[in-house]
Amino acid sequence: METEAYIALGSNMGDRELNLLRAVAEVGKLPGCRVTGLSAFYETSPVGGIDQPSFYNGVLRLATELPPRELLERLLHIESDVFGRVRTVQWGPRPMDLDLLLYGSMIVEEEGLIVPHPRMAERRFVLEPLCNLAPGLVHPVLGQTVAQLLKTLRSDESVAKLQPEILT
- Residue-wise DSSP of 50-85: ---PPEEEEEEEEEE-S-HHHHHHHHHHIIIIIT--
Q: Is 85 a residue of the active site?
A: yes
pLDDT for position 159: 92
User: Distance between CA atoms of 45 and 25, rounded to whole angstroms?
Assistant: 25
The H or E element that residue 131 is part of is helix 124-133
22, 99, 123, 124: the active-site residue: 99
22, 94, 123, 124: the active-site residue: 94
Q: Is 124 a residue of the active site?
A: no
Q: Which fold, 3-161?
A: Alpha-Beta Plaits (3.30.70)
97, 123, 154, 156: the active-site residue: 97
Per-residue pLDDT of the chain (168 residues; tens, 9 = 90+): 999 999 999 999 999 999 999 999 999 999 999 999 999 999 999 887 778 899 999 999 999 999 999 999 999 999 999 998 776 666 668 899 999 999 999 999 999 999 999 999 999 999 999 999 999 999 999 999 999 999 999 988 899 999 765 444
Q: Is 51 a residue of the active site?
A: no
User: Distance between CA atoms of 18 and 22, rounded to whole angstroms?
Assistant: 6
Q: Is 99 a residue of the active site?
A: yes
